[in-house]
Chains A and B, each alone.
Chain A
Amino acid sequence: TQLLEQSPQFLSIQEGENLTVYCNSSSVFSSLQWYRQEPGEGPVLLVTVVTGGEVKKLKRLTFQFGDARKDSSLHITAAQPGDTGLYLCAGLRRNNNDMRFGAGTRLTVKP
Chain B
Amino acid sequence: GAGVSQTPSNKVTEKGKYVELRCDPISGHTALYWYRQSLGQGPEFLIYFQGTGAADDSGLPNDRFFAVRPEGSVSTLKIQRTERGDSAVYLCASSLWGTGANVLTFGAGSRLTVL
Which residues on A are within 8 Å of B, measured CB to CB? 2, 6, 31, 33, 40-45, 48, 50, 86, 88, 90, 92, 96-104, 106
Contacts and interface: CB of A to CB of B under 8 A. Distances in A.
A47 B29 CA distance: 20
A42 B4 contact: yes
Interface in B35-53: 35, 40-45, 48, 50
Nearest to B106: A42
Nearest to B104: A99
Given A97-B55, A99-B45, A106-B40, A92 B102 contact: yes
A45 B103 contact: yes
Given A43-B104, A86-B42, 12 more contacts: A31-B102, A40-B108, A41-B109, A42-B107, A42-B108, A45-B103, A45-B104, A45-B105, A48-B103, A88-B43, A92-B102, A97-B56
